[in-house]
Amino acid sequence: MNQDHTDYHARLQAMDDHSVNPSQAESLSSLVNRSRRNVLKGGLALAALGLFGGSLAACQRAAATPASALLGFSGVAAQTASDFDRVIVAPGYTARPFFSWGDGVLPGAPQWQADASDDWQAQLQQAGDNHDGMHYFPLPDAPNDHGLLVINHEYINPTLHTAGLTWFEGPDGSRQRPLDEVRKEQAAHGLSIIEVRRDRNGTWERVSGRYNRRISALTPMAIGGPLAGDARMKTLSDPAGDRVLGTLNNCSMGVTPWGTYLACEENFHNYFFNRDPADYAERPTHRRYAIGNGRNSKYYAWESADRRFDATPYIDQPHAGYVNEPHRFGWVVEIDPFDPHSTPVKRTAMGRLGRECSVVSMGEGGRMAVYSGDDSRGEYVYKFVPAGRFDPASPVANRRLLDEGTLYVARFDADGSGVWLPLIWGQGGLNAANGFVDQQAVLLNARGAADQLGATPMDRPEWVAVHPQTREVYVTLTNNSERGHVYPVDAANPRPDNLHGQILRWNEHNADPAATTFTWDIFLLAGDQPGALDAAGNPVPAHLTGTIQGDIFSSPDGLAFDGAGRLWIQTDSDETAAHTSNTGCNQLLCADPVTREVRRFLVGPWGAEITGITWTPDYRSMWINVQHPGISYPVSDGVSRPRSTTVLVTRDDGGVVGA
C-alpha cells in the first residue's frame, strides 16, 4: 500500500539525528563545576553564561557594538506565514531558479515529466533530488563566466514517484519495495556535474557540454587508502574488496587545492539492515553506526529489492554475503569534475563517519588539514592531517595525499583550550582489548575510537568553514534536544534542551592546520533575543534565547566564508515547532566575524531547508539550494510544483554579493 508522506521529512530527519553514541560517561570537556550546570538547568538567564569564562561572556549582546561595514546590504524580515511560497532576497538583488530536480544533465536527457513518471534510466540522465552541498569550479577561458557546477543530491522525497513510495508485505511479514522504485531512488542520489556559462547579455545558462555527468548510487567507485582490499570490505559481489557501487546521502562537501571535489557520505545507516540480533550486538561497525536491525528495516527498505543492502550475515556464502556492505559507506569520495570518465575514489584513511563535510585548510609550506563534523546528537568534530604536503608542482603526488595521514578528534576543554586526539592504533586504549585489532579497525569504527579517547560529544556538528585570511575555523552545531538529559551540559554545549543550536570557533596553535592544540570560544548561541515573546504572547524561556547581535535564526547548518571574510549561515529548522514561531522559514544570513553582527540576506519558502552555497571567483554570482520545499516554488522551467532547486543570486548593479 502507499505510505502517508505528509510528515516524511520530519520523520526522516528524526531518524538521521537520532543519538547513537552509547558513551554515557562525561567527556573531559564536560568536567565543569556541577553547580554551573545545575544553575543552567534551573533556567538561569543567558547572561549567566559568563560563568564559563570570558570567551562566552563576549558573545552576549552588546549595544555598543558598531554596525558592520563588512555587511553592505539591507536585511530582510523573517517570514512566519505557513503559506509563504517564495524566495525573497535583500533589496538590490535578484534570485532566480536555475537548476531543479529532473532537469536534464546529460546530452539528450529526457524532459522532466510533471507527474514524475520518468523511470530510473531517465533519472540517471537528470538532476537528482534534494540538492545540498555544491561548488563552482572555474574554467580557464573565462573563470567568472564559465565553469562547472557540482551539486550533491542528498536523499529522495516521496514525490520522486507519481504515487509516492509504495511497499507491500512479504510472506514473512517483512516490508517489501518494488525494484523499479528502488532503482529510481538510487539513481536520484549522488551528484550532478553541469557546465554553466554567462552569455554576452550577462545571463547564466546551463550548457549540455562534455563535462556533464551524473554520479549516483549505481556508479562504480574505487576504494583507496588503508582499507582497500581489506577482508572487512569484501562482499559477495566484490571479493577483492577494492570496488564499490555508488555513493549515498551526500550532504556537504569540500574542495581540494588540486581541483577535486570531496563528496561526503552522511546518514548512510538508513539504507542498510541486519536482521540477526546476535550478530548485530557483536558488530560495533553496525551497532555504533545505527544500521537498521530487528524485524523491519529503516525507511527505505532497499534491502527487500536489492540484496546488497541486506547486511544480515549469510555464513554459507563467501564473505558472509553483504555483511560488509555498510563498511563501504561513510567515507569521503574524491571526484575529478574535469574528467567525466574518471573513477571516484573513497578515501578510507580519513575515517568512516556520518560525515557532513570535508573542508580543507591550507597552511604554510603545503601543510593542510581537512575538517569534518559527524552530524548526529552527541557525535564529534574531526580533522584529517595528510602525511605529505601539497605541492602545486607535483599533481600526481597530490592525488595520493588523502590516502595516508592521521585522523584526529576534538576535545573542547572548559577553560577555552582544546586538544586534537589522534586516532592511532596502539595509543590511548585503541588496542585489541578494546576491540581495535589494527589501524583499519580504528578507521572503520572511528566513532567508537573517539569514544575511547574521551572526545567531546557535540550538539550535532555540521558544516565547517575556515576564514580565508586568519585560518580561524567555525563549525555549526545545529541543535540537540538531548543535551542535559543524555549528554551533560558542558562549556562548548552550554544549554540544556538545545533546540536552536550554536556556532563555535577555534584558532589552531600558531594558525597551523596540523597543530594538535587550539583555543576556542562560542561565536553565538542561536535563538530568540532575551525578553522576546512567542506567538502566544508569552515570554520565551531562557534556554530558547540566544546571543545573536542582529537578525535571529534557529538551527544553523550550512556555513561558508566568501573571499572578503563574510561568514554566510544557512538554517535547517522545523518551522512548525513552537520554538521557531519567531524565526519562521529557513534562511541565509551573513555575519561579521569581528563585530558579530548578523544580517538576514534571503528567506526560502515554507518547508524548505536553505543549504549549499558557492560563488564565482569574483563573488558577483552566488548559487544556493532550496531543498525539499513544502509548497509551490517556481522552479527552473516555470512549473509551479515543489522541487529541490538551485537558485542563482546576483546583485542588480553587477557588484559583489554581500558587499
Higher-confidence residue of 631 and 555: namely 555
The mean pLDDT value for 623-628 works out to: 97
User: Quick one: pLDDT band at residue 633, thresholds 50, 70, 90?
Assistant: confident
| pLDDT of 20 higher than 90 | no
Give the rounded percent of residues in the chain with a pLDDT score beyond 90: 82
Question: Is residue 351 predicted with pLDDT exceeding 90?
Answer: yes
- β-pair type (88-89, 597-603): antiparallel
**Residue 42: is its pLDDT beyond 70?**
no
Band of the pLDDT at 295, cuts 50, 70, 90? low
Q: CA 535, 541, 544, 549 torsion: positive or negative?
A: positive
Phi-psi region of 450 (alpha: psi -120 to 50; beta: other; left: phi over 0): alpha
Distance CA 624, CA 638 (A): 18
Distance in angstroms (rounded) separating the CA atoms of residues 117 and 120: 10
Report d(CA 279, CA 326) in Å as an integer.
14
**21-25, 477-481, 635-639 — which is least confidently predicted?**
21-25
What are 323's three cell numbers?
555483511
Q: Where are the alpha helices (DSSP H) in 91-234?
A: 120-123, 179-187
User: Does residue 37 have a pLDDT over 50?
Assistant: no
φ, ψ of residue 273 to 5 degrees: the values are: -150, 130
In this predicted structure, the answer to whether residue 29 has a pLDDT above a threshold of 70 is no
DSSP count for the chain of H helices, then E strands: 10, 34
What is the model's pTM?
0.92
Work out the average pLDDT over 158-173.
90
Measured between alpha carbons, how far is residue 337 from residues 150, 215, 255, 658 in Å? Answer: 7, 11, 11, 28
CB 87, CB 647: distance < 8 Å? yes
Which residue from 467, 456, 465, 493 is spatially nearest to 478, judged by alpha carbons?
493
What are the sequence ranges of the domains in the chain? 8-651
State pLDDT tens for residues 548-577: 999 999 999 999 999 999 999 999 999 999
**Nearest to 380, CA basis, from 445, 442, 461:** 461
DSSP state for residue 25 in the 8-state scheme = S
How much is the average pLDDT of 608-635? Answer: 93
How far apart are alpha carbons 495 and 491 in whole angstroms? 9
- Kindly tell me the sign of the dihedral angle through the C-alpha atoms of 219, 222, 228, 230: positive
**How many Å apart are CA 191 and CA 610, to the nearest integer?**
18
Query: Does the pLDDT at position 298 exceed 80?
Result: no
> At residue 47, does pLDDT exceed 50?
no
Q: Strand order in 645-651's β-sheet?
A: 93-100, 645-651, 621-627, 609-615
- pLDDT recorded at residue 9: 58
Q: What is the mean pLDDT of residues 113-136?
A: 94
Question: Looking at per-residue confidence, does 26 or 485 come out higher?
Answer: 485
Q: What is the pLDDT of residue 243?
A: 98
Q: Look at 44 and 599; give whichever has higher pLDDT.
A: 599
pLDDT band for 4, please (50, 70, 90 cuts).
very low
Would the pLDDT of 434 be above 80? yes
State the Cα–Cα distance between residues 90 and 93, nearest whole angstrom: 6
- Residue 5 has a pLDDT of 37
Distance, in Å, from the CA atom of 531 to the CA atom of 95, rounded to the nearest integer, reads 34
Q: Is it the case that residue 539 has pLDDT exceeding 70?
A: yes
For the cut 70, the answer to whether the pLDDT of residue 356 exceeds it is yes
Is residue 378 within 8 A of residue 488, CB to CB? The reply is: no
**β pairing state of 332-335 and 261-265:** antiparallel
pLDDT in tens, 74-96: 999 999 999 999 999 999 999 99
The pLDDT mean for the chain works out to: 90
Q: What span, in angstroms and rounded, lies between the C-alpha atoms of 502 and 497?
A: 13
Q: How many angstroms separate the CA atoms of 295 and 312, rounded?
A: 12
Task: Please check the confidence at residue 168 and state whether its pLDDT lies above 60.
Answer: yes
* Averaged pLDDT for residues 207-234: 97
What residues are paired with 222 via a beta bridge?
Answer: 243, 345
Q: Is the dihedral of CA 528, 529, 534, 538 positive or negative?
A: positive
State the pLDDT at residue 8.
55
% of the chain with per-residue pLDDT over 70 = 90
pLDDT > 90? residue 484: yes
CATH code assigned to 8-651: 2.120.10.30
Distance CA 190, CA 196 (A): 19
Residue 318 is predicted with a pLDDT of 85
Whether the predicted pLDDT of 353 surpasses 70: yes
Q: What is the mean pLDDT of residues 634-656?
A: 89
- Rounded to whole angstroms, how far apart are CA atoms 599 and 348? 39
Calpha distance 321→217 (Å, rounded): 19
As a whole number of angstroms, the distance between CA 175 and CA 165 comes to 12
Contact 254, 360 (CB under 8 A): yes
